[in-house]
């Protein structure tokens, strides 16, 4: 691929939250028309990376640029984001949720409605567009969030665990939609911790572990480069270092909260003493 084809560029990105280095010197490129999988265990840094790509976070150092080297937070009109939580308003209908975001993108209602209808047919969601999302299943919520992210015609679609918690049929529908977007020349960044899914959907897989990019290539390249028989074996070989725990802990408590938690936090026996108790019993 030529440099002209590069759509999203992550260059030497570090992201620090207090004392925790969530991402360390991450660099890669996303080309136009590609479906790229971000694969890693929980806490690897996938969501942080997606938030950097969507402009929600700013890098501590390095840059995330879109197209002609413009910082991504200035080009958010070109992005469609589906966060893991879907982020739907339960007291609005599916269409109202979609229209709300489209209006904030500055898109005319008639344009977003046409695009929504087009993809709603693929996702079998036409009948549900006028329903409140309060009673939606996880699958319906995910599909609505996808429609919302596509309604303004983004250049890049950022999906954070789009099939997590979905039943088999819904997951297949979502994957089929990604395939459809790819066929139409769209670019998708697909975060998942399921290798099988990444292998099925993505042209290229980026394996992230403990905030570092461990590998970047097509599924076949990853298997061959690591002299393994399967992608799973390659993944295990690349991520041998013990996975860190998620950093969303209350260790950052300050002042009164810290004292309060110290006083009232329940004491948990150490693992070794537990073993002793079990043995004595």
Contacts with another protein, residue ranges (CB under 8 A): 17, 51, 54-58, 76-77, 79, 81-92, 96, 100-101, 103-106, 145, 148, 158, 248, 250
In the bound complex, what is the minimum distance in angstroms from residue 87's beta carbon to another protein? Answer: 3
Nearest partner of 26 among 7, 43, 46, judged by Cα? 46
3-state secondary structure at position 23: strand
Cβ proximity to another protein, 112 vs 239, nearer residue: 112
Cβ proximity to another protein, 100 vs 196, nearer residue: 100
In the numeric block, which tokens belong to residue 223? 């298997």
In the bound complex, what is the minimum distance in angstroms from residue 222's beta carbon to another protein? Answer: 29
DSSP 129-190: TTSBGGG--HHHHHHHHHHHHHTT--SEEEEESTTTT--HHHHHHHHHHHHHHHHTT-EEEE
In the bound complex, what is the minimum distance in angstroms from residue 146's beta carbon to another protein? Answer: 12
Cβ proximity to another protein, 81 vs 174, nearer residue: 81
In the bound complex, what is the minimum distance in angstroms from residue 130's beta carbon to another protein? Answer: 14
Check residue 268 and give left, alpha or beta (phi > 0: left; psi -120 to 50: alpha).
beta
Instruction: Give the helix/strand (H/E) hosting 25.
Output: strand 20-31
Burial class (CB within 10 angstroms; exposed 0-12, middle 13-18, buried 19+) of 145: buried
Cβ proximity to another protein, 163 vs 199, nearer residue: 163
In the bound complex, what is the minimum distance in angstroms from residue 220's beta carbon to another protein? Answer: 33
Cβ proximity to another protein, 53 vs 215, nearer residue: 53
């Amino acid at each position: 691929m030529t440099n002209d084809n590069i759509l999203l560029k992550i260059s030497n990105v570090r992201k620090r939250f207090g004392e925790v280095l969530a991402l360390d010197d991450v660099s890669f490129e996303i080309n136009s028309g590609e479906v790229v999988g971000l694969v890693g265990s929980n806490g690897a840094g996938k969501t942080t990376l997606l938030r950097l790509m969507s402009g929600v976070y700013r890098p501590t150092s390095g840059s995330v640029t879109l197209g002609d080297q413009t910082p991504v937070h200035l080009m958010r009109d070109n992005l469609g984001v589906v966060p893991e939580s879907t982020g739907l308003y339960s007291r609005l209908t599916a269409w109202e949720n979609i229209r709300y975001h489209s209006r904030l993108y500055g898109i005319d209602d008639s344009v977003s409605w046409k695009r929504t209808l087009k993809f709603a047919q693929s996702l079998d969601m036409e009948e549900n567009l006028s329903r409140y999302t309060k009673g939606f299943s996880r699958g319906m919520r995910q599909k609505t969030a996808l429609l919302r992210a596509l309604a303004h015609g983004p250049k890049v679609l950022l999906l954070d665990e789009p099939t997590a918690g979905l039943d088999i049929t819904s997951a297949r529908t979502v994957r089929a939609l990604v395939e459809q977007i790819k066929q139409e020349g769209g670019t998708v960044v697909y975060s998942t911790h399921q290798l099988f899914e990444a292998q099925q959907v993505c042209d290229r897989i980026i394996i992230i572990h403990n905030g570092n990019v461990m590998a970047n290539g097509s599924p076949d390249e990853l298997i061959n480069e690591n002299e393994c028989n399967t992608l799973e074996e390659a993944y295990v070989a690349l991520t041998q270092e013990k996975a860190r725990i998620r950093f969303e802990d209350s260790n950052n408590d300050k002042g009164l909260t810290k004292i309060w938690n110290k006083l009232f936090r329940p004491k948990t026996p150490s693992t070794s003493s537990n073993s002793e108790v079990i043995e004595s019993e």
